[in-house]
Structure 1
C-alpha cells in the first residue's frame, strides 16, 4: 500500500499536523509528489551520508558537454525518480528545448499516479537553472 505523503512530508512538523485526515485528498497527494520530486532533484550525489548514491549529479559538471549533457541529465532524472519516488509509475522524461532561456534546461516528466482505485496520468514541468537548482510544477 502506498502512502499519501512522502517520508519527508511525514517528518516535517510544519506540514503534517494540519493535514492528518481520514479522507484522501488527491490534490494533496499530487502536491506531495511534486514537492518530493523537486526536493530530490535539488540533492547532489554524496550529500546524504547514509546513502551515498542518493542525489543528482552536479549539472555544472556536465552542462559544458552540450548536447550530450541533455541525454545524460534526462537519464539521471528518470533513473532517480524511478528509484526513489515509488508513487510515480511508468516514468518518462523528455527534454524541452527553450531558445529564449539558453541557461535553463527544461524537462517534462510524465508518469502515472495510483492511490488505491484512483489512477491518473500526470505531467510535471521541470526547469534546471544555470546554478543547478531545479523547480518542478504540475
Structure 2
C-alpha cells in the first residue's frame, strides 16, 4: 500500500486491496507519476498548498545566469518536501549544446523500500513552451 498515493488507491479499487509488499516497478511508476504532477504544477497555483510545484519559468527570465541554479533548487526542495519515498535527492543541470531552447536537469535519489535504498534517476526538461517534463 505504501507504493501508491492515497488518491490513486481511492480512484482504483485494485490498489486498495491489502498486500504484503509492493513491487519496485510499481513504486517507481507511482513516484514518476507523482513527479510529473509536481513538475506540471506552478508554485502558488494551489490554494491549500501554495509551495507545491516548481517555480514559474517566467520568473527566471531576469535571474540569468543564476536561473538554472534557482530552478534546480526549486525542483530539489519540492521533491524533498512532497515525495517522502525519495531520500538523498540531488538535482544537477545538464548543459546541452545541441538543443539551445531546452534546460535539462538530472535528478538522482534513493527509494526507501523494504529496509533498503534503491537508486533511481530521471531527467527533467524545460522547453521553450515553459513546460517541464519528466522522463
TM-score band w.r.t. shorter chain: 0.7 to 0.9
Aligned mates of 1:70, 1:34 — CA distance in 2: 22
**1:87-120 CA distances to partner (integer Å, 9 max, x unpaired)?**
0000000000111221111001011101223421
Q: Which runs of 5+ in 2 are unaligned?
A: none
TM-score of the aligned structures, taking structure 1 as reference length: 0.85
The answer to whether the Cα contact below 8 Å between 1:60 and 1:130 also exists between their aligned partners in 2 is no
Partner of 2:29: 31
Deviations 1:17-56 (A, max 9, x none): 3445524221011011011111101111221111222221
TM-score (norm 2): 0.87
Structure with the larger RCO, 1 or 2 (CA within 8 Å, 6+ apart)? 1
Superposition deviation, residue 126 in structure 1: 0.9
Q: Alpha carbon RMSD of aligned pairs, Å?
A: 1.9
**TM alignment of 1:1-138, pairs within 5 A:** 3-11=2-10, 13=11, 16-20=12-16, 22=19, 23-137=21-135
